[in-house]
Amino acid sequence: MSATEIISTEPASGAVLWRGAAGNAAHEVALARAAWAAWAAQPLAVRIETLRRFANVVRSRLDTFADLIARETGKPLWEARTEVESVVNKVDISVSAYAERTAQRRFEGALGAKSALRHKPHGVLAVLGPFNFPAHLPNGHIVPALIAGNAVVFKPSEKTPATGAFLVECYHAAGVPEGIVRLLIGGPDEGRALAAEPGIDGLLFTGSARAGMALHRQFAETPNKILALELGGNNPLVVWDTPDIASAAVIAVQSAYMSAGQRCTAARRLIVKDGAHEPLIAEIGRLIDRIIVDHPHADPAPFMGPVIDNATADHVQESFLDLILKGGRPIKQMARRDADRPFLSPALIDVTGISARPDEEIFGPVLQIIRVADFDAAITEANNTRFGLSASLVSGSPDLYDRFWGNIRAGIVNWNRPTNGAPSNAPFGGVGLSGNHRPSAYYAADYCAYPVVSSEADQPRASIGVGLRDG
């Protein structure tokens, strides 16, 4: 690959899927800057109708879009279809969110005074997208940004540029002006250049905590620009005093291994009662043995596909081996059936014996077991992380859930549901290293427009009642 070319290959086969030249951040921002005022001046109803046409375009191309996502990410075709459906559904959800979160309001004051609350777009927003949900997650930023009247320069992950290009083409096919959604192809250099562009009014990012911290430092000297960070998690799943071991095991498998563990909300740590954990671990092991790991279009359909690329597979394997070297006891070893392809089997490891457990997000199919003595220790262990995105309790006790909800530090707290179960019509975000208090999804409207408060009167009426000499 040359320095100016981005090549996308299918993780499952290694076949070249897409190739294109890297773009220029300054050029794309300039085009968006020139176009955004006209878009912002359009009535809200026009912008909404344009986005509804976008939803119809994506709906008409669902099969093609899903096939592309499956090939480029390696995720099963059934999962890619649900991602495209989320892209479609995001429009109606964002319309409702904009009406609720940024509604116009008027207030009556004393002596007939009137005040108004309205919202304005920021201008040109940069969007940096991730590879794990290469359509749904950036779309979750772009749609509310466009409804609010912003222009967008979107840089997809260099690992999923084909999906990003397809998504942008759908916007344009629906009538979103080409200057209002610009596609920037490139790698980390182009991403850094886009973030540093003086012509952007903010940046919306979904990705790793390390990259998010770098952006936070970069934006420290530009408080005039909005920065919304949606980062990762070292998410706990606590299973405690539940009689339904089979369901608890299913929830653990769904939490840890869906999308090959490449979800920011995936369970990384399974916290259980020491001495009562064996039936649960055995049932999880039986489910792991039944999981189909295969290419996206395989028949029967796989539960999970490969991780995104060989470098990621190498890193996940090294992280698993490091846990063993630190004293972890593997229960299900991680296997890689083909050294040239990034297919990993689900791994399960007891790390209770590791005194200083690494507080890292292993972005792959690895679930770490931690045994504790009592429920207070379970909550303490669940909070033993710099992250705070998602947490879940599996238990038949409402009282335990009340204690869990009241004491856990996370933006998503579930009960008898997987850690990665988050509704699209609610805010999505976390605390700690999981974000910067700018939750996305339903609350994305909050960072796509800023409030403007006005004191208003039909005629100028003013007097100064004190502090003036007689005239």
Which sequence positions are flagged as catalytic? 230, 264
CA–CA separation, 396 and 199 (whole Å):
53
- 10-19 core/surface letters (b: 16 or more CB in 10 A; e: else): bbbeeeebbe
CB atoms within 10 A of CB 341: 20
CA–CA separation, 247 and 259 (whole Å):
19
Instruction: Report which of 341, 351, 346 is spatially closest to residue 312, judged by C-alpha positions.
Output: 341
Point out which residues pair with 267 in neighbouring strands.
235
Q: Which two tokens stand for residue 197?
A: 């562009």
Q: List all residues 6 or more positions away from 427 whose beta carbon is below 8 Å from its beta carbon.
A: 411, 439, 440, 441, 442, 443
CA–CA separation, 324 and 401 (whole Å):
32
CB atoms within 10 A of CB 220: 9
Between the alpha carbon of residue 267 and those of residues 7, 82, 246, 344, 422, the distances in Å are: 31, 20, 17, 17, 13
The three-state DSSP-derived secondary structure of 51-81 is HHHHHHHHHHCHHHHHHHHHHHHCCCHHHHH
Q: Which two tokens stand for residue 448?
A: 């796509």
Q: Which two tokens stand for residue 91?
A: 């429009």
Q: Which two tokens stand for residue 443?
A: 């609350």
Burial of 129 (0-12, 13-18, 19+ CB in 10 A): buried
Between the alpha carbon of residue 351 and those of residues 22, 370, 408, the distances in Å are: 43, 6, 21
Q: Which two tokens stand for residue 128?
A: 């940096």
Point out which residues pair with 128 in neighbouring strands.
155, 205
Instruction: Report which of 251, 241, 244, 243 is spatially closest to residue 275, judged by C-alpha positions.
Output: 241
Contact call for residues 164 and 96 (beta carbons, < 8 A):
no
Residue 31: alpha-carbon gap to chain centroid: 27
Q: Which two tokens stand for residue 241?
A: 């005093």
Instruction: Report which of 400, 391, 376, 360 is spatially closest to residue 236, judged by C-alpha positions.
Output: 391
Q: Is the peptide bond before 144 cis (omega within 30 degrees of 0)?
A: no
Q: How far apart are the first and last CA of the chain?
A: 81
CA–CA separation, 268 and 166 (whole Å):
32
